Amino acid sequence: MAGKRSIAILTGGGDCPGINAVIRALTKKAILKYGMEVIGIQDGFDGLIRDRHRKLAYSDVSGILTMGGTILGTSNISNPYRWAEPKGKEIVFRDVSRTVLANLRALKVEGLVCVGGDGTLAIAGRLMKDGARIVGVPKTIDNDLCGTDVTFGFDSAVAVATDAVDRVHSTAQSHHRIMIVEVMGRRAGWIALYAGVAGGGDIILIPEIPYSIEAIAAKVNDRKKRGKRFSIIVIAEGAKLVGGEIVVKRLVEKSFEPVRLGGVGFVLGEQIERATGVETRTVVLGHLQRGGSPTAHDRILATQLGAEAVDLIVRKEFGRMVAVRGGSMTSVSLETAAGGPRLVPLDHHLVAAARALGTSFGDEIS
């Protein structure tokens, strides 16, 4: 690599439709426009810790635009500042950031592109302060990163969730049931809001608006009075009762974000059955929302973000994340990006539109 300009890229956190489109755009632009070599770090920060990487040739990224996942692999538990190692029956945490910085220096790259959400970008920000040259690319299906109007992966997740809501309508109507569709969104309800509106959900429950069983039961009973013997509820995994707590599925001690949510739909289903007497079923979409081919929107957005990241490195604008603001490409500081979450505003135009159409958010008894 002596004498040859080069950049590196890693993908951290959960997988997400569109990551490969970013890798493709970055690699092709770096090679074709700047004559650079591109080094792919394997399995996120785990690859920097263990010094595992490979050169990405033009042929390596041809044909990956439509592929889900990431050809480089990823990890959502490898934090260089809190590296988990087994010691007997216990887990010991160590700071191995100096190893990461040394391995990065040995690659002699002009900069590192970190593709990820707030966890990945928070780590990237710390490494930047410790001497690394880093540029971020926003990636999360939750659409909750600060500093950008939208993240790639969100549109694909909404498409999957909307399709699921469409499909449960027929069984709900046939059996006169309440069907609950639980979607991702631990802190922000963007997926539930957009999929709920797009799918015609009768009740949409998001973390930003605590709900009451009384309000939900009132909505269900009101629909029954009007001859609607079924109801569709779309709920984000982080939604909670007024004065209640989020439903935690399990804890992953080694992870940057140890709390794993899931199951609020089942809890809600039991509560609704007791309150209304209406048979209720729950569908948890889980990782289905993160898998599969990205939508056309996400392919285009990811391509733009990946291409812009190369330019940031060439211009030596480190410590920045590529962002979309007002429909245009720009950049914000990594500190801004990791300062989330970006929540759904209570006065958001889509919330207002849904309420005007009779959709309940579980907070008002009509």
Does this model's pTM top 0.75? yes
Same fold, 6-152+293-337 and 157-291+345-356: yes
Q: Which CATH class is domain 157-291+345-356?
A: alpha beta
Structural domain spans, the chain: 6-152+293-337, 157-291+345-356
| pLDDT score recorded for residue 158 | 98
Question: Of 46, 142, 202, 298, which residue is the catalytic one?
Answer: 142
φ/ψ of 186, rounded to 5, equals -75, -35
| pLDDT score recorded for residue 1 | 42
| pLDDT score recorded for residue 340 | 81
| pLDDT score recorded for residue 249 | 56
Q: Render each residue's pLDDT in the chain as its tens digit; 366 residues.
A: 446 899 999 999 989 999 999 999 999 999 999 999 999 999 999 999 999 999 999 999 999 999 999 999 998 888 999 988 888 888 888 999 999 999 999 999 999 999 999 999 999 999 999 999 999 999 999 999 999 999 999 999 999 999 999 999 999 988 889 999 999 998 999 999 999 999 999 999 999 999 999 999 999 999 999 999 999 999 999 999 998 877 765 454 555 565 545 689 999 999 999 999 999 999 999 889 999 999 999 999 999 999 999 999 999 999 999 999 999 999 999 999 988 899 999 999 999 999 999 999 999 886
Domain 6-152+293-337 has CATH 3.40.50.920: no
> Is 142 labeled as catalytic in the residue annotation?
yes
